[in-house]
Each structure stands twice: as structure tokens, then as C-alpha cells.
């Protein structure tokens, strides 16, 4: 799995800070942006988002390349609708099943499970290649490919949607592969726009309590999780 922040809105904190001040100042937004410094922008973002007025951080967008992840992951990722996606196509790219699949740690650590997992993938690979040799188009041969198949996807989200995504997908309840990707995305955006992602992370980090009720995983220690995400 690899995550790389490819591009993001220039001066995201200055822009969102200036947008926030537009509501309460008489000057026009371009003058406000020209006059604002980073400290004032951050202070404004903290104040306004502290009221729950989150729309001001929608002005900053972040584009990631998420590489060599499973199709199981991307299927969950694309459920987040306030985002843009472009994914590697199994219609156009010939798939090398034996080289390109994700093995979950629970399977990798279990010799017997790993053996049957690998054997099945070898069989899938043989069938896929045989279908192509028979002249079956890639778009139809791919029906045999598994959720473990690796893929690449580009995703763009604005800061508000990213925070919502982190609430759900950095949570211990989230599936492990997507949780790792979401946590790495958060680590990278915090570096470039700290005030937009202050207290970002699973819902418990933001709200101070777990909303999962009886679904809350037993291993969760909210104080420890808060410490971990604050120091990310």
C-alpha cells in the first residue's frame, strides 16, 4: 500500500481563513486574502469551525494517489460520495494475478490459510490467462478476479469531506486496510494544513466519546487513541 498526496489547493489555510472572514468583514474577499497572514488565518479557522461552521473548509481540496491497494478497499472508499475518483481499469489493463494481490495479515500469518489462499489465486490466474488466450475480452475475463486484486486510484476530497472520512475510516471499527490508508492520508494533510485537520481522526478523537454504542471494539482506549492521533 502506498499513499501520496499529489496536489492540494495553494495556501489552503490562507484561502479558508480569508473565506471565513468574508462573512464578517466589509472588504472584498481578494483584499482579505491579500491582507491575511497564516497566524490570523489559523486563528479564524479554529474559531469558525469551533462554532461548527464547517463549510469554510470546503474551499481547500486534496488529491491523493492510493496505490497497490485491494479492490476490497476501493469498493469501500468510493462509497464516500463527496469526492472525485479515477481508478485503474480492469477493462484496459491486463491483470497479473500472481504478482498483484493483497494478502490480509490474518491470512499471511496462518500457514494453512496462506497455502489455500495462494493456491486459489494461482488457479484464478490460470483461468484468467486461459480466458484471454481464448479471445475473451479483458472486460469479461476480469469477472474471475478476486477482491484481493491490487489496484490504483486517484481521489480528491475537500477538507470537510476528508474530516468526515477520517471520522469513519480511522476508527478501529473500520476495515484494517482502509483504516491504514485513511490514517496515512490524515498524517500527510496534517503536515500541509494543520489548522484544517486539528482534532481530526476517528469520531472519538473529535467528540471525546465513542458513538458506536455496543459495537464499540473492546480493545478501544479512547485516551490512547486521542494521544496517537494528536501526535500523528
Residue numbers annotated as active site: 169
Q: For residues 228 and 202, is the Cβ–Cβ distance under 8 A?
A: no
Binding of ligand FAD by 168 (CB under 6 A):
yes
Smallest gap from Cβ 165 to ligand FAD, in A, equals 6
Binding of ligand FAD by 214 (CB under 6 A):
no
Alpha helix (H) residue ranges in 51-110: 71-77, 105-108
Select from 24, 79, 92, 99 the one that contacts ligand FAD (CB under 6 A): 79
Select from 100, 114, 138, 173 the one that contacts ligand FAD (CB under 6 A): 173
C-alpha cell at 155: 481521489
Closer to ligand FAD by CB, 169 or 190: give it: 169
Distances 211 to 35, 60, 162 between C-alpha atoms, Å: 41, 28, 19
Task: State how far the Cα of 25 lies from the Cα of 184, in Å rounded to an integer.
Answer: 37
Select from 6, 38, 78, 82 the one that contacts ligand FAD (CB under 6 A): 82
Binding of ligand FAD by 174 (CB under 6 A):
yes
Distances 60 to 56, 91, 100 between C-alpha atoms, Å: 9, 33, 34
Binding of ligand FAD by 228 (CB under 6 A):
no
Site string for ligand FAD, 55-74 (x = CB under 6 A): --------------------
C-alpha cell at 34: 491579500
Contact set with ligand FAD (CB under 6 A): 79-82, 161, 164, 168, 173-174
Amino acid at each position: 500500500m502506498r499513499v501520496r498526496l499529489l496536489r492540494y489547493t495553494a495556501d489552503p489555510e490562507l484561502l479558508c481563513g480569508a473565506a471565513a472572514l468574508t462573512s464578517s468583514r466589509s472588504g472584498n474577499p481578494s483584499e482579505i486574502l491579500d491582507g491575511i497572514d497564516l497566524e490570523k488565518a489559523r486563528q479564524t479557522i479554529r474559531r469558525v469551525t469551533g462554532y461548527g461552521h464547517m463549510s469554510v473548509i470546503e474551499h481547500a481540496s486534496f488529491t491523493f494517489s492510493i496505490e497497490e491497494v485491494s479492490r476490497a478497499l476501493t469498493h469501500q472508499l468510493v462509497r464516500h460520495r463527496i469526492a472525485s475518483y479515477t481508478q485503474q481499469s480492469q477493462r484496459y489493463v491486463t491483470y497479473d494475478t500472481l504478482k498483484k494481490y493483497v494478502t490480509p495479515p490474518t491470512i499471511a500469518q496462518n500457514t494453512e490459510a496462506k497455502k489455500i489462499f495462494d493456491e486459489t489465486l494461482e488457479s484464478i490466474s490460470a483461468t484468467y490467462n486461459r480466458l484471454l488466450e481464448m479471445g475473451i475480452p479483458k472486460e469479461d475475463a476480469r469477472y474471475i478476479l478476486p477482491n484481493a486484486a491490487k489496484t490504483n486510484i486517484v481521489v480528491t476530497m475537500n477538507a470537510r469531506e476528508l474530516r468526515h472520512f477520517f471520522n469513519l475510516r480511522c476508527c478501529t471499527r473500520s476495515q484494517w486496510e482502509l483504516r491504514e490508508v485513511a490514517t496515512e492520508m490524515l498524517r500527510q494533510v496534517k503536515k500541509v494544513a494543520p489548522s484544517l485537520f486539528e482534532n481530526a481522526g476517528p469520531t472519538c478523537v473529535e467528540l471525546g466519546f465513542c458513538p458506536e454504542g455496543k459495537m464499540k471494539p473492546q480493545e478501544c482506549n479512547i485516551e490512547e487513541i486521542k494521544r496517537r492521533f494528536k501526535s500523528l
